[in-house]
Amino acid sequence: MNSVSPASVQYLSHDELPHSDGQQLFHSRAPLHGESYRRSISAAGPSAHGQHSEPDEVDKIKCKVLSVWNKVKYGWTVKSKTNFSKLSPVYLFGYIYHFDREEDVERFHRDFASRIWLTYRREFQQLEGTTWTTDCGWGCMLRSGQMLLAQGLLLHFLGRDWTWPGALLPGGLTETDPGRSSSPSSRPSASRLPPVPPLLASQSRAPSERRTLPHHCSPDELEKERRHCKIVSWFADRPEAPFGIHRLVDLGRSSGKRAGDWYGPSVTAHIVRKAVDSCTEVGGVAVYVSQDCTVYKGDVAKLASRSEGRAAWDPCAEWKAVIILVPMRLGGESLNPAYVDCVKELLRLDFCIGIIGGKPRHSLYFVGYQDDFLLYLDPHYCQPFVDTARENFPLESFHCNFPRKTAFSKMDPSCTIGFYARHSGEFEQLCLKLTQVLNSAAVKEKYPMFSVVEGCSQAYGLDEHLSQQTLQTQRGARRDRAKKPTAEEFVVL
């Protein structure tokens, strides 16, 4: 089987891969301009900064040069159109849209633009112990992990039907495949599609202008918008933010990571878990990270149970909502095509909150698919720092109106998939659906992507597991980075 334990789920290939549009986005062995400075800082580490003899002004100049370079390298045009077919359904977080229906196109636009989009940022407060004021070039996996968590929090605090009133719908966001005629469809309409709320005023606003809601908004809409702003502020690029880049980098140190390093999807899953565990503002949510591609129902029940003295499965026991993260590897050096159908089935589940993965050393956040193409949000776009501590801070840069697609065949086999269950009943439904999907897929693939089993895991904790990852990461750092991964480097289940 091509799956591996979470300890082995890392991006091991360091070869340069082209983006789907043919552009070269990252080269780990060929630093360019500011990239060489970024690597020198990363290699030196925080301790080296205190011993460096260069004057502070030189460091500031280098940072400015790096910032200019990042604006060029990661300033791609977001407003690029993506072709969609009118003949095939589009799946987005369990909802289905048919583009031969104009109302479905509009609802898809609004649904997609309501997802929280977290990208590279620049000019934020220095990361502790470093001169970093940006995560350009190295923080994409952390940003993808933030988006995965943000989607889980949106479901928890606002529900799946919520859409952002500020999700404007300018014409031509997407275009259907040319040459394909629009024909009546006999497919039934998805009954669970979210209603279209009233639009905000569509006039353009400068980033510094205050954001206000229409006067006719109901108290319920105002409360939801307040929650929306609060969720976004939790991911702010400030040391005080519980899920911001400063906090995640700080938590990554326990697994041998530091600012400027590459973060794999498995390590990122554990960092997200630690961030939620230490945040009192989301006490009603717990994060479970599977071990060795196995979800142990007993462990999830213990983690989510709120009622002391009651069995976790007692109908009267109170449960926290739980986000389940499953790191896995679906192939050797490339994605095993046998897993594609199963990935599609999982993305169609209402409980799925997406997949963090992408390409080697180029993370993306997958949110749905159409035909043989994954839909994703791309963190590789450098934006200026936004001060979320301000009243009515602008939200536009935290939402993306332009969906992008990439072929399943280009997906890296290392990934982490996420699920959300609000209470014990939903968790049971999730386990039932996962068992059905995975067992059905196992008939064709011989082995499932992961397993859901009764009982608890072996008597070792996740912190010990992370320490094992740290040792593996430290050993791997001493290897020749140009070496390609082989099957022997993975733990085969």
Burial of 336 (0-12, 13-18, 19+ CB in 10 A): middle
Q: Is 455 left (phi over 0), alpha (psi -120 to 50) or beta?
A: left
Gyration radius (Cα) of the chain, Å: 22
Q: How far apart are CA 377 and CA 361, in angstroms?
A: 16
Instruction: Considering the candidates 14, 156, 246, 380, report the single residue annotated as catalytic.
Output: 380
Residue 380 annotated to the active site: yes
Instruction: Considering the candidates 140, 352, 400, 431, report the single residue annotated as catalytic.
Output: 140
Tokens, residue 84? 């969609």
Q: How far apart are CA 289 and CA 49, in angstroms?
A: 35
Instruction: Considering the candidates 111, 292, 378, 412, report the single residue annotated as catalytic.
Output: 378
From residue 408, alpha-carbon distances to 4, 154, 413, 469 in Å are 20, 26, 10, 28
Q: How far apart are CA 162 and CA 110, in angstroms?
A: 10
Tokens, residue 177? 């495949």
Residue 135 annotated to the active site: no
Residue 161 annotated to the active site: no
Residue 365's closest CA among 111, 150, 133? 150
Residue 421's closest CA among 266, 285, 218, 256? 285
Other CB atoms within 10 A of residue 377 CB: 25
Buried residues in 214-251 as b, exposed as e (16+ CB within 10 A): eeebeeebeebbebbbebbbbbbbbeebbbbbbbbbbb
Residue 6's closest CA among 187, 343, 270, 380? 270
Place of tokens 């968790």: 427
| CB-based contact 125:244 (threshold 8 Å) | no
CA dihedral over 136, 138, 144, 145, signed as positive or negative = negative
From residue 139, alpha-carbon distances to 24, 239, 363, 469 in Å are 17, 16, 9, 19
Which amino acids are annotated catalytic? 140, 378, 380
